[in-house]
């Protein structure tokens, strides 16, 4: 899927204690997620990229995306919980072990096509080059 033109929204490290990370302000500003809102998680089958969205239907209705789970961002917070189903997916893609742990950085990116459905990709640093076609 490296043919899309991607917009990097920012990145952050996963907290070892809470398994949460702050959503970049740019993602909040363009309303890809909102405080106090639900976030739906899926996997893009073509490249194993994790998709996050505040809208359920585009993930559920896309034949190329497999729905995983949902989480909630607390009111007055930008802290995004990383659910076990997403961590388990990254572990599988990486071939076993713990692929993303506390302190590891995740990158948030979107494209025009993703943003039209209020979606963004949440990528571990080790997956950025494969998915985006560029280095982290």
Query: What are φ and ψ of residue 93, in 5° steps?
Result: -60, -35
What is the pLDDT averaged over residues 24-42?
Answer: 93
Give Cβ neighbours of residue 67 (< 8 Å, ≥ 6 apart): 40, 41, 42, 59, 60
Q: Report residue 133's pLDDT band, with 50, 70 and 90 as the boundaries.
A: confident
| Interval 107-117: pLDDT, tens | 999 999 999 99
Count of the separate structural domains present in the chain: 1
CA-to-CA distance for 73 and 75, rounded, in angstroms?
7
**Residue 97 in domain:** yes
Q: Report residue 127's pLDDT band, with 50, 70 and 90 as the boundaries.
A: very high
**Residue 6 in domain:** no
**Residue 48 in domain:** yes
**Residue 9 in domain:** no
| Residue 85 domain boundaries | 19-127
**Residue 136 in domain:** no
| Interval 61-91: pLDDT, tens | 999 999 999 999 999 889 999 999 999 999 9
Query: What are φ and ψ of residue 36, in 5° steps?
Result: 75, 10
What is the pLDDT averaged over residues 98-123?
Answer: 95
pTM above the 0.85 mark? yes
Residue owning tokens 């930008």: 78
Residue 3 has pLDDT above 60, yes or no: no
């Amino acid at each position: 899927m490296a043919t899309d033109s991607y917009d990097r929204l920012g990145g952050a490290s996963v907290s070892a204690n809470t398994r949460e990370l702050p959503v970049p302000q740019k993602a909040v500003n363009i309303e890809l997620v909102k405080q106090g809102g639900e976030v739906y998680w899926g996997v893009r089958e073509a490249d194993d990229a994790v998709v996050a969205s505040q809208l359920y239907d585009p993930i559920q209705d896309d034949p190329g995306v497999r729905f995983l789970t949902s989480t909630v961002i607390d009111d007055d917070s930008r802290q995004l919980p990383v659910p076990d189903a997403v961590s388990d997916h990254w572990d599988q893609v990486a071939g076993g072990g713990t692929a993303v742990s506390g302190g590891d950085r995740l990158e948030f990116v979107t494209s025009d096509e993703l943003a039209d459905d209020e979606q963004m990709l949440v990528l571990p640093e080790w997956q950025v080059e494969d998915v985006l076609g560029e280095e982290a």
